[in-house]
Chains A and B, each alone.
Chain A
């Protein structure tokens, strides 16, 4: 409104516009937007107090423990069993979640069928459903007395209170990560590469294997790493279904809480530091992946 009033009162309109552009350029140079100091200061303080300070406490404690305390914590067979279980179940679950994720994403993006939008919406439920609720519900369903567990028990398959139960809970947790990282990539892929492949005589299987899979691979790996990192630290949904037997079905996060209850701070810190480093590494890999694929690919 102010612009038009200046323009209409000024006899030489072109002159005014030039002046305005110049003043805008001058202003742009020193960024006229307000609140830099305030928002940076408050934002940093907030990040520092809520996130960095607690993590620093863990880092300082882990670094100051000394080699002897570290060795004692790591040489514990129960700790090793828990870490092994957590890593292997998180890995299996990430594999299953990312494979099922491809199927679900494919169906949601490529096909039109009644209930498609409901299916799409339900994928997000594990994000929204509290982990404790998911945990007791999955346990009730897949326990030997549950709706599905009863059927499987007839064939001698045990899910709840055993390792498969842990994997099941982690697949539940990881599935949305797999689907939601693949979905935008598959949507953006378009049909042209497939049309080209088909016109060159490739059949559907070859097209999928040689054209679609390579395009989806980076997003697939990202979804895999996200599901893995999340599964490694997951607690709420797993502890109900796992059975929590030491050396057998006791996950690493649970052992942290047990060590804490025993006031064995060093023991808890050692496990926590290892879990933390492992999920940082897997997330670092995600961030480095694009570089890897860009180098080999022909993008840009």
Chain B
């Protein structure tokens, strides 16, 4: 936090009135666009009192939606963490043909509309899909069932962990791992005692972003879920149904859970950047 000298007639500074005008405009923009929706969600959720909020969350549909959202996150987050570390390891510690292509492919899901991601899964597993006959023969249901929801969520959350770890591990270099190996550490020991401690905060950062997206994903999951109440509705889909039925209080009650989660994500993110900024990829280091 370098605070430059404050001279009243500094030719490098905007005049005071302009500075405050810009600050207030920026604050108004963030207020109207970002803060107000958050206040709105909490206000509408608790507008009819704590009891109505609690009752809306206790309905069987709401509980099963929450359970499915947590179930999906419980699969998606560890899978992304493990494969994210593996992919980042191979991309930062070895040079091989096609590495640049691989790096570009990892970003692919960010460029794909969630709805298109869902459509792709329908084309694979739907009634006209590549695997339809095989799945039917083995009585496996992917679409309009949990596997489809998990796959859709895996698709949209794919880049988060890798994208955080690759720049971080590139900055850190392999010297310490090489030293550990030359001193006779086994692969597992090297990973647990050298690599993991170095990347743990970056990994947590990636996992955090992945978790937020996994629990909030709407478009991709909406296409593959089939919206079967109590069966394949995640929390965001449950919100949509309630909202379309004009049950605003219940919709906002469910939304307040997700809004609370996203606030928690933000707080943890700010904490990680402030407290462990040096252990994150360069782009997140602030001040």
Residues of A within 8 A of B (CB): 1-3, 20, 23-24, 27-28, 31-36, 38-40, 42-44, 46-47, 50-55, 57-58, 61, 100, 103-104, 106-108, 111-113, 115, 117, 119-134, 136-138, 140-141, 147-148, 168, 171-172, 175, 184, 187, 191, 194-195, 198, 203-204, 229-230, 232-236, 240, 253-254, 256-257, 260, 265, 268-269, 272, 275-276, 279-280, 283
Q: Contacts A103-B29, A122-B34, A236-B219 known; A128 to B266 CB distance under 8 Å?
A: yes
Q: Contacts A47-B105, A50-B154, A272-B116 known; A140 to B248 CB distance under 8 Å?
A: yes
Those of B15-47 within 8 Å (CB) of chain A:
19, 22-23, 25-27, 29-30, 32-38, 40-41, 44
Q: Contacts A54-B123, A132-B218 known; A32 to B259 CB distance under 8 Å?
A: no
Contact of B108 among A51, A168, A230 (CB under 8 A): A51
Check if B133 is an interface residue, CB within 8 A of chain A: no
For A113, A115, A130, A172, the residue with the greatest tally of chain B CB atoms inside 10 Å of its CB is: A130
Residues of A within 8 A of B77 (CB): none
Check if B270 is an interface residue, CB within 8 A of chain A: yes
Question: Among B52-60, B183-191, B199-207, which stretch is in contact with chain A?
Answer: B183-191
Say yes or no: A34 contacts B181, CB within 8 Å: yes
- Known contacts A107-B22, A129-B259, A131-B219; 17 additional CB pairs below 8 A are A34-B190, A35-B86, A35-B89, A43-B86, A46-B86, A54-B120, A57-B123, A104-B30, A111-B23, A120-B286, A125-B35, A128-B212, A130-B215, A134-B37, A233-B219, A234-B219, A276-B113
Contact of A132 among B23, B87, B113, B240 (CB under 8 A): B240
Instruction: Tell me the smallest distance from the CB of A48 to a CB of chain B, in Å.
Output: 10
Check if B265 is an interface residue, CB within 8 A of chain A: yes
Say yes or no: A236 contacts B114, CB within 8 Å: yes
Shortest beta-carbon contacts, A-B, top 7 = A233-B113, A130-B216, A54-B120, A236-B218, A34-B187, A137-B37, A235-B219
Say yes or no: A233 contacts B116, CB within 8 Å: yes
Q: Contacts A204-B14, A283-B111 known; A28 to B178 CB distance under 8 Å?
A: yes
Say yes or no: A279 contacts B36, CB within 8 Å: no
Residues of B within 8 A of A (CB): 1, 3-4, 11-14, 19, 22-23, 25-27, 29-30, 32-38, 40-41, 44, 83, 86-87, 89-91, 93-94, 96, 102, 105-124, 128-130, 151, 154-155, 158, 174, 177-178, 181-184, 187, 190-191, 209, 212, 215-219, 222-223, 236-237, 239-240, 243, 248, 251-252, 255, 258-259, 262-263, 265-266, 269-270, 283, 286
Q: How far is the CA of A234 from the CA of B219 in the complex (A)?
A: 8
Q: Contacts A50-B155, A50-B158, A54-B117 known; A233 to B90 CB distance under 8 Å?
A: no
Say yes or no: A253 contacts B113, CB within 8 Å: yes
Q: Contacts A33-B174, A141-B40 known; A253 to B219 CB distance under 8 Å?
A: yes
Residues of B within 8 A of A203 (CB): 11
Residues of B within 8 A of A191 (CB): 4, 12
Contact of B119 among A34, A236, A272 (CB under 8 A): A272
Summarize A's interface: helix, strand, loop or mixed: helix
Instruction: Tell me the smallest distance from the CB of B204 to a CB of chain A, in Å.
Output: 15
Q: How far is the CA of A23 from the CA of B183 in the complex (A)?
A: 11
Residues of A within 8 A of B184 (CB): 2
Q: How far is the CA of A213 from the CA of B283 in the complex (A)?
A: 21
Q: Which residue of the partner chain B has the closest CB to A229?
A: B111
Contact of B35 among A55, A122, A130 (CB under 8 A): A122
Residues of B within 8 A of A103 (CB): 22, 25-26, 29
Say yes or no: B115 contacts A256, CB within 8 Å: yes
Q: How far is the CA of A130 from the CA of B251 in the complex (A)?
A: 13
Say yes or no: B116 contacts A275, CB within 8 Å: yes
Contact of A204 among B11, B38, B187 (CB under 8 A): B11
Contact of B216 among A121, A131, A187, A257 (CB under 8 A): A131
Say yes or no: A269 contacts B119, CB within 8 Å: yes
Say yes or no: A132 contacts B236, CB within 8 Å: yes
Residues of B within 8 A of A136 (CB): 41, 239, 243, 251-252, 255
Q: How far is the CA of A44 from the CA of B181 in the complex (A)?
A: 25
Residues of A within 8 A of B13 (CB): 204
For A133, A148, A235, A283, the residue with the greatest tally of chain B CB atoms inside 10 Å of its CB is: A133
Instruction: Tell me the smallest distance from the CB of B221 to a CB of chain A, in Å.
Output: 10
Contact of B187 among A35, A128, A171 (CB under 8 A): A35
Say yes or no: B106 contacts A47, CB within 8 Å: yes
Q: How far is the CA of A126 from the CA of B178 in the complex (A)?
A: 41
Residues of A within 8 A of B270 (CB): 117, 121
Q: How far is the CA of A195 from the CA of B10 in the complex (A)?
A: 11
Q: How far is the CA of A184 from the CA of B167 in the complex (A)?
A: 15
Residues of A within 8 A of B19 (CB): 111
Q: Which residue of the partner chain A has the closest CB to B270?
A: A121
Say yes or no: A279 contacts B83, CB within 8 Å: no
Pull 8 A–B residue pairs with CB atoms less than 8 Å apart, ordered by A: A46-B83, A54-B151, A57-B120, A100-B29, A121-B266, A137-B36, A138-B37, A140-B40
